[in-house]
């Protein structure tokens, strides 16, 4: 969007600080940001349109258009736009994705085959070859630096020849190989020219930027260099000096200069540290503000936490609560008792006993005269909760209702009536609960199960069915600490960090596809011992007919050819409720030995005699998901057997799957998953709104995250609407004004 140029009269009074940083004391209170805070869009981020209005009034010079940099006319402006660059801030924030140390380029004769390296030389000759049978173009150049000759080749890019001529001095970067002769295939390249500006491209640590079509590396490097010459030293540092000092951070000007053109790698490290801090700081700041708002705004319901229902419930439980469960229950009760609205995330490994904690919380709502509801992502899971809770609470005289879309129409109407009239105390359901015509009499607690499968809007919708109800979000996938702090940093967190004592072990085996018979033998052995189990077939998407077909085919084959003598059943997400109930019940009463299942059993299914499990194509699952699935068989006195089948050679899955085989600690597995797949993939879905960082790496920057979080929360504690920190406020708007998406209630 258009960014107006601002003359200096828009700035406040200039003050040079000791560090050589320049700060601008803004005139008065901008005040605008806080208006956004009351905007209904806040939970989805500040709308872009709001921000435009704000931008024209900003006093921050890095919001200048890049067109004000010397040499950037309309054409170059368009080119920069292709990279998403409009302002000085965008440009200086366009960080290199790697660096080349060109102060120290190895002679070609010393290059090592098999490694990514930078080389420099002169084009000796070049030519375009067309292979006869494959009709492929190969462009090849011989390059020498007098120490040796290397051949650079580009496949199917005949236009490459237009870029070079014999005698050019070039820099190439790519993987060096020795296929008879020394070569480098499809390298990145730059042509060195003899002009005065070469010092930014040569003889130093050189930044390499991501490019878009026909935007050249040298152009972007030159433009950024120019911006640094014109602006560095003049940019106001939005992080207050106290925070910089106590966290040992360099100034913004130093950081921006050295992230692009580091003097050496030490300076680069210092620069990166500062900029990573910024990324975390503003994210945590937004979370801190949201958390603060949640705490101060609406008055919630003060529940009575020592009533007879919750007391009796604990008495009738067939087991003793673990210390971790007790602690977490205390935390929840404290919140529910308080008038403040609860926003709490309940975490615990699979099998740690989250269901009783939820049940108890719901009873606290009921004994206080209100209704509670629990929303699950699938019907199977909702049904499972419904039956379990009904069983657990059968002596308590509680009215529990189930609302899922596949109920017969008449029943649905009558269930909705009981919810509206208040003749249902606890309501279990799926997305069906969100429908407009579902009205509660007096809902005071919302429990959201498997919360990462729901979007922010859905959670808000449910919350709005009550008047400031307490909210408990439950995650069955252990969330690594960094992710919890960045994605759910505005929620209070309770962790059940131990499993009930009599939990049985699960032994996990990784078996290669080629030795499939071994797996079948193991299964037969378990069935002889009277056990039941699952064969899990991965479907990426239950709605893809082709995939479902593969699962069904597999079932037919197992039933007829492999386990002809056994009772084999099939369950998948596209069966209707009656069919599903029927199959589940057959399995529960042990009229089925082996249940072939798609991932619908991933969550929540709880059948004690089902103790073995074979997971097909295990490499298609994330480790956390595998762990979740494995959790289904860790719930009885019998030892569990989990067999992971994978075509190890073809998929290269050995290392990853070994990490799963070797530990049963869900938090460790989650960390590993995060490291291997990155935050975006961690939950298996992208839409949960994990923030994207440019520099920060959530797997390695935990220390900085903690520093930034502390600083941000402290600031909000003493200055919740950031009126005393206007530069911080302005930067927060600049960063997150654009569709700031993050998981939040």
* Residues within the interface to ligand ADP (CB under 6 A): 319-322, 325, 348, 350-356, 476, 500, 606, 631, 635
Q: Minimal distance in Å, beta carbon 637 to ligand ADP?
A: 11
Contact 192, 198 (CB under 8 A): yes
Q: Minimal distance in Å, beta carbon 627 to ligand ADP?
A: 11
Q: Between 122 and 606, name the residue whose CB sits nearer to ligand ADP.
A: 606
Residue with tokens 């375009």: 128
Q: Minimal distance in Å, beta carbon 209 to ligand ADP?
A: 46
Q: Between 542 and 606, name the residue whose CB sits nearer to ligand ADP.
A: 606
Q: Minimal distance in Å, beta carbon 586 to ligand ADP?
A: 20
Q: Between 325 and 486, name the residue whose CB sits nearer to ligand ADP.
A: 325
Distance of alpha carbon 50 from alpha carbon 37, whole angstroms = 12
Q: Minimal distance in Å, beta carbon 350 to ligand ADP?
A: 4
Q: Between 358 and 733, name the residue whose CB sits nearer to ligand ADP.
A: 358
Q: Between 320 and 525, name the residue whose CB sits nearer to ligand ADP.
A: 320
Q: Between 194 and 502, name the residue whose CB sits nearer to ligand ADP.
A: 502
Q: Where are the alpha helices (DSSP H) in 6-124?
A: 32-37, 48-55, 74-82, 88-92
3-state SS record for 37-64: HCCHHHHHCCCHHHHHHHHCCCCCHHHC
Q: Between 388 and 442, name the residue whose CB sits nearer to ligand ADP.
A: 388
Q: Between 108 and 356, name the residue whose CB sits nearer to ligand ADP.
A: 356
Q: Is 30 helix (H, G, I), strand (E, B) or coil?
A: coil
Q: Minimal distance in Å, beta carbon 631 to ligand ADP?
A: 6
Q: Between 489 and 631, name the residue whose CB sits nearer to ligand ADP.
A: 631
Q: Minimal distance in Å, beta carbon 686 to ligand ADP?
A: 25
Contact 737, 729 (CB under 8 A): no
Distance of alpha carbon 492 from alpha carbon 688, whole angstroms = 18
Q: Between 239 and 382, name the residue whose CB sits nearer to ligand ADP.
A: 382
Q: Between 59 and 630, name the residue whose CB sits nearer to ligand ADP.
A: 630
Q: Minimal distance in Å, beta carbon 356 to ligand ADP?
A: 5
Q: Beta strands 98-101 and 205-208: pairing type?
A: antiparallel
Q: Minimal distance in Å, beta carbon 663 to ligand ADP?
A: 17
Q: Is 83 helix (H, G, I), strand (E, B) or coil?
A: coil
Contact 105, 206 (CB under 8 A): no
Q: Is 273 helix (H, G, I), strand (E, B) or coil?
A: helix
Contact 156, 130 (CB under 8 A): no
Among 60, 79, 59, smallest CA distance to 71 is for 79
Q: Minimal distance in Å, beta carbon 437 to ligand ADP?
A: 30
Q: Between 80 and 358, name the residue whose CB sits nearer to ligand ADP.
A: 358
Q: Between 243 and 393, name the residue whose CB sits nearer to ligand ADP.
A: 393
Strand arrangement, sheet containing 492-496:
400-403, 426-429, 371-375, 443-448, 470-475, 343-348, 492-496
Give just the sign of the alpha carbon dihedral 214, 220, 221, 222. positive
Q: Minimal distance in Å, beta carbon 500 to ligand ADP?
A: 3
Q: In a 10 Å sphere around its CB, with 0-12 CB exposed, 13-18 middle and 19+ buried, how is residue 712 labelled?
A: buried
Backbone angles phi, psi at 721, to 5 degrees: -100, 15
Q: Beta strands 426-429 and 371-375: pairing type?
A: parallel
Number of neighbours of residue 193 by Cβ within 10 angstroms: 11
Q: Is 125 helix (H, G, I), strand (E, B) or coil?
A: strand
Q: Minimal distance in Å, beta carbon 348 to ligand ADP?
A: 5
Distance of alpha carbon 373 from alpha carbon 476, whole angstroms = 18
Backbone angles phi, psi at 118, to 5 degrees: -105, 140
Q: Minimal distance in Å, beta carbon 551 to ligand ADP?
A: 25
Among 569, 567, 558, 533, smallest CA distance to 642 is for 533
CA dihedral 199, 202, 206, 211 (to 10 degrees): 100
Q: Between 409 and 501, name the residue whose CB sits nearer to ligand ADP.
A: 501
Q: Between 632 and 729, name the residue whose CB sits nearer to ligand ADP.
A: 632
Residue 619 DSSP code: G
Backbone angles phi, psi at 380, to 5 degrees: -60, -45
Report which secondary-structure segment, H or E, holds 360.
Answer: helix 354-367
Q: Residue 162, Cα to own-chain centre: how many angstroms?
A: 43
Close Cβ partners of 369 (under 8 Å, ≥ 6 residues apart): 442
Q: Is 3 helix (H, G, I), strand (E, B) or coil?
A: coil
Contact 559, 535 (CB under 8 A): no
Contact 381, 606 (CB under 8 A): no
Close Cβ partners of 688 (under 8 Å, ≥ 6 residues apart): 452, 455, 487, 743
Q: Between 387 and 693, name the residue whose CB sits nearer to ligand ADP.
A: 387
Q: Between 314 and 575, name the residue whose CB sits nearer to ligand ADP.
A: 314
Strands of 376-505, DSSP E: 400-403, 426-429, 443-448, 470-475, 492-496
Q: Between 50 and 450, name the residue whose CB sits nearer to ligand ADP.
A: 450
Q: Minimal distance in Å, beta carbon 537 to ligand ADP?
A: 22
Q: Minimal distance in Å, beta carbon 140 to ligand ADP?
A: 59
Q: Minimal distance in Å, beta carbon 469 to ligand ADP?
A: 22
- Read off the tokens for 665: 């600690």
Number of neighbours of residue 667 by Cβ within 10 angstroms: 19
Q: Minimal distance in Å, beta carbon 314 to ligand ADP?
A: 11
Q: Minimal distance in Å, beta carbon 354 to ligand ADP?
A: 3
């Amino acid at each position: 969007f258009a960014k107006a140029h601002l003359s200096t009269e828009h700035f406040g009074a200039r003050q040079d600080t000791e560090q050589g940083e320049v700060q601008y004391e803004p005139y008065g209170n901008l005040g605008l940001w806080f208006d956004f805070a009351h905007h209904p869009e806040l939970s989805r981020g500040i709308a872009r349109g709001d921000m435009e209005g704000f931008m024209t009034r900003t006093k921050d010079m890095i919001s200048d258009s890049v067109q004000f940099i010397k040499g950037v006319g309309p054409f170059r402006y368009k080119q920069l736009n292709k990279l998403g660059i409009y302002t000085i801030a965008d440009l200086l924030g366009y960080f290199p994705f790697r660096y080349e140390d060109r102060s120290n380029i190895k002679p070609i004769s010393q290059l090592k085959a098999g490694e990514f390296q930078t080389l420099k030389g002169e084009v000796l000759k070049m030519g375009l070859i067309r292979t006869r049978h494959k009709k492929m173009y190969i462009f090849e150049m011989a390059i020498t630096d007098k120490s040796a000759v290397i051949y650079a080749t580009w496949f199917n890019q005949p236009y490459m020849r237009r870029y070079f001529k014999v005698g050019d001095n070039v820099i190439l970067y790519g993987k060096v190989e020795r296929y008879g002769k020394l070569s480098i295939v499809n390298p990145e390249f730059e042509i060195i020219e003899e002009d005065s500006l070469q010092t930014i491209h040569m003889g130093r640590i050189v930044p390499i930027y991501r490019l878009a079509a026909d935007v050249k590396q040298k152009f972007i490097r030159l433009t950024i260099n120019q911006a640094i010459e014109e602006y560095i030293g003049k940019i106001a540092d939005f992080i207050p000096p106290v925070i910089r000092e106590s966290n040992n951070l360099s100034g913004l000007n130093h950081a921006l200069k050295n992230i692009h053109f580091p003097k050496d790698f030490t300076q680069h490290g210092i620069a990166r540290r500062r900029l990573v801090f910024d990324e975390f700081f503003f994210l945590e700041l937004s979370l801190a503000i949201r958390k603060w708002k949640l705490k101060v705004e609406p008055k919630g319901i003060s529940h009575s936490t020592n009533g007879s229902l919750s007391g009796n419930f604990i008495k009738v439980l067939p087991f003793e609560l673990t210390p971790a469960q007790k602690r977490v229950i205390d935390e929840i009760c404290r919140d529910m008792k308080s008038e403040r609205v609860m926003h709490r995330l309940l975490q615990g490994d699979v099998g740690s006993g989250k269901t009783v904690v939820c049940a108890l919380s719901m009873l606290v709502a009921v004994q206080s005269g209100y209704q509670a509801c629990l929303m699950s992502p699938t019907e199977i899971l909702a049904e499972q909760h419904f039956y379990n809770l009904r069983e657990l609470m059968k002596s308590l005289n509680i009215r529990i209702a189930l609302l899922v879309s596949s109920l017969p129409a008449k029943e649905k109407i009558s269930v909705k009536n009981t919810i509206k009239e208040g003749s249902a105390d606890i309501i279990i359901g799926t997305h069906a609960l969100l429908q407009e015509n579902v009205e509660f009499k007096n809902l005071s607690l919302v429990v959201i199960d498997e919360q990462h499968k729901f979007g922010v809007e859905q959670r808000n919708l449910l919350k709005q069915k009550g008047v400031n109800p307490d909210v408990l979000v439950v995650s069955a996938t252990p969330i690594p600490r960094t992710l919890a702090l960045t994605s759910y940093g505005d929620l209070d967190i309770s962790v059940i960090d131990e499993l009930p004592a009599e939990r049985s072990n699960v032994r996990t085996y990784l078996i290669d596809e080629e030795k499939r018979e071994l797996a079948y033998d193991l299964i037969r052995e378990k069935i002889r011992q009277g056990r039941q189990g699952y064969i899990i077939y991965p479907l990426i998407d239950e709605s893809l007919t082709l995939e479902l077909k593969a699962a069904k085919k597999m079932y037919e084959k197992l039933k007829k050819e492999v386990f002809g003598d056994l009772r084999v059943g099939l369950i998948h997400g596209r069966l209707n409720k009656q069919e599903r109930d029927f199959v589940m019940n057959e399995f529960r009463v042990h009229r089925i030995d082996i249940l072939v299942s798609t991932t619908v059993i991933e969550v929540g299914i709880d059948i004690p005699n089902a103790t073995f499990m074979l997971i097909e194509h295990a490499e298609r699952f994330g480790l956390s998901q595998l762990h979740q699935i494995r959790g289904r068989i860790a719930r009885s006195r019998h030892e569990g057997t989990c067999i992971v089948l994978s075509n190890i050679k073809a998929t290269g899955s050995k290392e990853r799957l070994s990490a799963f085989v070797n530990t049963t600690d869900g938090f460790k597995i989650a960390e590993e998953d995060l490291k291997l797949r990155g935050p975006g993939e961690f939950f298996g879905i992208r839409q949960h709104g994990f923030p994207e960082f440019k520099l920060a790496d959530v797997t390695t920057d935990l220390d900085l995250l903690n520093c930034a979080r502390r600083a941000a929360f402290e600031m909000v504690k003493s200055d919740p609407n950031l009126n005393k920190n206007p530069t911080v406020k302005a930067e927060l708007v600049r960063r997150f004004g654009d569709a700031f998406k993050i998981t939040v209630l």
